[in-house]
């Protein structure tokens, strides 16, 4: 199904980029300053990687705080990058994004990045495409919520009788316990 709108017509041309050698700390500062969720890493005009919020969160959870200043963006960014041509139909871009579970795609011609396509760009031009785009993005907690609904399990806020933390607690074996303690049992 073709939509008739080309990727090149709606892509962001003034995307935020940096050199791959930028420190992770400076990359985060730039992303915060520019209010973006990803940073395109380029050398000249050649795409070298994409640093996303997810990459940063991974580093923060795995590396000691004292090492953070020494880490370069190129060390943690995605290097195997799926790209799209500006002549591609937006529908094809959505299919790629859904399949790969991406929210953004670099737009390239002969390895030279000329733009950046995001779900936001697509939805600005044709909001009805949201239904197509959202099919693959399922809320991760949804399965658990449905399970609780099916079992008519009741919960409320209160103090966990196991760990003493204030949280959402469930009635189990005559005790009120939180999700964490419940999973540990």
What does the DSSP assignment read for 7-32? HHHHSBSS--EE-TTSBHHHHHHHHH
CA angle (68 as vertex; 65, 69 as ends), nearest 5: 125
Range in 13-27, 64-78, 122-136 the model is least confident about: 122-136
Percent of the chain with pLDDT over 90: 38
154 is a domain residue: yes
- Answer with the one of 115, 134, 153 that is the final residue of a domain: 134
CA angle (112 as vertex; 108, 122 as ends), nearest 5: 25
Residue 149 pLDDT = 47
Give the CATH number for residue 19: 3.10.580.10
Residue 147 pLDDT = 57
Between these two residues, 183 and 15, which has the higher pLDDT value? Answer: 15
Task: Note whether 82 and 152 are same-domain residues.
Answer: no
1 is a domain residue: no
Q: Work out the mean pLDDT of the chain and round it to a whole number.
A: 82
**How many independent structural domains does the chain possess?**
2
Average pLDDT of the residues in 46-60: 92
36 is a domain residue: yes
2 is a domain residue: no
98 is a domain residue: yes
Cβ 56 vs Cβ 50: under 8 Å: no
CA-wise closest residue to 12 among 123, 110, 91: 123
Task: Note whether 23 and 86 are same-domain residues.
Answer: yes
Interatomic CA distance for residues 106 and 46, integer angstroms: 11
128 is a domain residue: yes
44 is a domain residue: yes
Q: Is the pLDDT of residue 150 over 70?
A: no
Task: Note whether 124 and 148 are same-domain residues.
Answer: no
CA of 131: how far to CAs of 46, 89, 136, in Å? 33, 17, 10
Q: Is the pLDDT of residue 134 over 60?
A: no
> What order of strands is seen across the sheet that includes strand 166-172?
155-159, 166-172, 175-178
Q: Which helix (H) or strand (E) holds 131?
A: helix 130-134
Q: How confident is the model at residue 129 (pLDDT cuts 50, 70, 90)?
A: low
156 is a domain residue: yes
Average pLDDT of the residues in 74-102: 89
Domain that holds residue 158: 142-184
Task: Note whether 30 and 46 are same-domain residues.
Answer: yes
Q: How many helices (H) and strands (E) does the chain have?
A: 9, 8
Task: Note whether 128 and 104 are same-domain residues.
Answer: yes
Q: How confident is the model at residue 132 (pLDDT cuts 50, 70, 90)?
A: low
Average pLDDT of the residues in 36-46: 92
Whether this model's pTM surpasses 0.85: no
Task: Note whether 121 and 164 are same-domain residues.
Answer: no
């Amino acid at each position: 199904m073709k939509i008739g709108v080309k990727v090149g017509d709606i892509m962001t041309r003034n995307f935020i980029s940096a050199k791959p050698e930028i420190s992770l700390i400076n990359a985060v500062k730039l992303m915060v300053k520019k209010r973006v969720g990803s940073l395109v890493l380029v050398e000249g005009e050649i795409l070298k990687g994409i640093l996303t919020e997810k990459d940063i969160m991974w580093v923060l959870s795995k590396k000691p705080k004292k090492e953070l200043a020494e880490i370069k963006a190129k060390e943690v960014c995605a290097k195997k990058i799926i790209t799209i041509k500006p002549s591609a139909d937006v529908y094809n871009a959505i299919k790629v994004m859904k399949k790969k579970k991406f929210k953004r795609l670099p737009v390239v011609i002969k390895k030279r990045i000329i733009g950046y396509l995001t779900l936001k760009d697509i939805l600005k031009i044709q909001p009805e495409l949201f239904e197509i785009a959202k099919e693959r993005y399922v809320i991760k907690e949804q399965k658990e919520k449905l399970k609780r609904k099916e079992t008519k399990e009741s919960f409320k806020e209160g103090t966990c009788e196991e760990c003493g933390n204030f949280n959402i607690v469930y009635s189990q074996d005559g005790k009120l316990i939180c999700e964490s303690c419940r999973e540990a049992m």
